């Protein structure tokens, strides 16, 4: 019996329970997985009072940075990107890690993208840092566009190999200068950028949002001829990586990904 939950606020929209339960069914294991509303500032008390009820916890906004303050083992990747999306138990030890980056790279690989010359990341929060840290291994240049310079140093610390540039938010970025554009902002925050998408855009847009879908930016990108990946792909692969941390036996990742993609696509429509 495996016990999991996704924590965040708001959380009612999350497809994580559907996905994890579908994975349990596909893999033939018993499990329970729920969505629990945990507002900002309450993660420590929730974990203290209820951690014994679970084997792993998925974290979404606004808890990915707050989790760093918990009294847990924190792996080096999570320390570097200062963002965690998974708390899991191994023996008597709880560890905080992030599967956002590995999931993001797996989603890109599934779309046929294994190397990137130049990438623009929209937003500067925890997901942006996880994406930056992951892209560091496959991108030559990583540019981030954020609303203030407060998070610039944290983003730069997540990158050790690629060339890094930070830009203040503008309404008409030059999307044509990049191979990949990643939107990590909350729903609606990047809508006004849709007017900056040129006709015949060659770059791929990876929008980590999956509900509501399509976003205005994603719709315009598609209308202008560009390739679009949505957040279901990230949700899928980061979830598979979470399961690999907590299950004792290996499983067919490709077959599971195909199954979960079908489940999520049906639910999303």
Pairing of strands 227-230, 204-207: parallel
Quote the pLDDT of residue 151: 86
Q: What are the counts of helices (DSSP H) followed by strands (DSSP E) for the chain?
A: 9, 12
Who's near 201: CB < 8 A, 6+ residues apart? Answer: 175, 176, 221, 224, 225, 226
Q: Which H or E element spans position 245?
A: helix 231-246
pTM of the predicted model over 0.85: yes
Quote the pLDDT of residue 269: 66
Which residues in the chain show pLDDT less than 50?
Answer: none
Which residue is listed with tokens 């692969």?
237
For residue 169 the two structure tokens come to 């938010």
Phi, psi (degrees; rounded to nearest 5) at 96: -100, 130
C-alpha to C-alpha distance for 154 and 129, rounded to whole angstroms? 8
Check residue 24 and report its DSSP letter: H
Q: What is the pLDDT of residues 144-162, one digit of tens each?
A: 999 888 889 999 999 999 9
Catalytic residue among 64, 115, 211, 227: 64
CA proximity to 182, closest of 137, 148, 245, 233: 233
Q: Is 266 a catalytic residue?
A: no
C-alpha to C-alpha distance for 104 and 120, rounded to whole angstroms? 15
């Amino acid at each position: 019996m495996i016990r999991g939950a996704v924590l965040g606020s708001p959380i009612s929209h999350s497809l994580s329970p559907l996905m994890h339960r579908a994975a349990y069914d596909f893999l033939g294991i018993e499990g329970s997985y729920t969505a629990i509303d945990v507002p900002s500032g309450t993660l420590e008390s929730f974990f203290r009072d209820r951690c014994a009820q679970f084997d792993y916890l998925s974290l979404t906004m606004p808890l990915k940075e707050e989790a760093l303050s918990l009294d847990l083992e924190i792996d080096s990747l999570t320390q570097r990107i200062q963002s965690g999306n998974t708390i899991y138990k191994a023996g008597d030890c709880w560890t905080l890690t992030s599967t956002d980056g590995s999931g993001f790279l797996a989603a890109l690989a599934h779309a046929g993208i294994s190397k990137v010359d130049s990438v623009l990341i929209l937003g500067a929060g925890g997901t942006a840092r996880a994406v930056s840290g992951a892209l560091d291994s496959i991108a030559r240049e990583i540019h981030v566009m954020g609303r203030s310079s407060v998070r610039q140093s944290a983003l730069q610390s997540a990158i050790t190999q690629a060339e890094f540039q930070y830009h203040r938010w503008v309404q008409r970025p030059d999307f044509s200068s990049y191979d990949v554009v990643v939107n990590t902002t909350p729903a609606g925050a990047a809508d006004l950028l849709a007017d900056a998408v040129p006709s015949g855009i060659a770059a791929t847009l990876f929008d980590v949002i999956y509900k509501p879908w399509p976003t205005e930016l994603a719709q315009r990108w598609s209308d202008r001829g560009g390739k679009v990946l949505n957040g279901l792909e990230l949700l899928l692969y980061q979830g598979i990586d979470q399961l690999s941390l907590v299950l004792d036996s290996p499983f067919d990742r490709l077959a599971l990904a195909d199954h979960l993609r079908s489940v999520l696509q049906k639910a999303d429509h």
